[in-house]
Amino acid sequence: MKTILMGALAALTLAAATPAAACDEHAKKDTHAGAARAAPAEKPAAAPVGKNGVSTVELTVTSKGFEPANVKVKAGHPVRLVVTRKTDKTCAKELILDDLGINQPLPLDTPVTVEFTPSETGTLRYACAMDHISGIVTIQ
């Protein structure tokens, strides 16, 4: 009787430990991490400046990563990123924008807003917490 109970406990511990493994999608394929680290080759999607002077950019997190992974905005205008994570099959559960000190959690199916005003032209890179999945904002 005692042995059976021990077995059940071990099984429980295992089951509890499995979902805690972060970034397992990436861990399975190491080559993916290296490839994704390069700037996305995708042509930037231009985000127009709205009447309120703000460029609103809708981003989604899917199993493919951030979409679109490259957006173009204008320097000197506030940018509002509205980010919605649509899948649990991603480790991009946060958006890290190192240059601006932004670390924004991305709850499932809930649009969250990240706002900043880029003053200079160039690119801003953002990524998941483990820096596997990334995207860029091109500032012109």
Contacts to Cu ion by CB under 5 A:
23, 91, 128, 130, 132
Could you tell me the smallest distance in angstroms from the CB atom of residue 133 to Cu ion?
5
Whether residue 23 contacts residue 33, with contact meaning beta carbons closer than 8 Å, is answered with: no
Alpha carbons 52 and 10: distance in angstroms, whole number: 58
Could you tell me the smallest distance in angstroms from the CB atom of residue 67 to Cu ion?
16
Q: What 3-state DSSP class applies to 69? A: coil
Q: Using CB atoms within 10 A of its CB, is residue 86 exposed (0-12), middle (13-18) or buried (19+)?
A: middle
Query: Which CB sits closer to Cu ion, 82 or 129?
Result: 129
Query: Which CB sits closer to Cu ion, 73 or 128?
Result: 128
Could you tell me the smallest distance in angstroms from the CB atom of residue 131 to Cu ion?
7
Could you tell me the smallest distance in angstroms from the CB atom of residue 82 to Cu ion?
21
Count the neighbouring beta carbons within 10 Å of the beta carbon of residue 110: 10
The values of phi and psi at residue 99, to 5°, are -60, -25
Query: Which CB sits closer to Cu ion, 32 or 77?
Result: 32
Query: Which CB sits closer to Cu ion, 49 or 91?
Result: 91
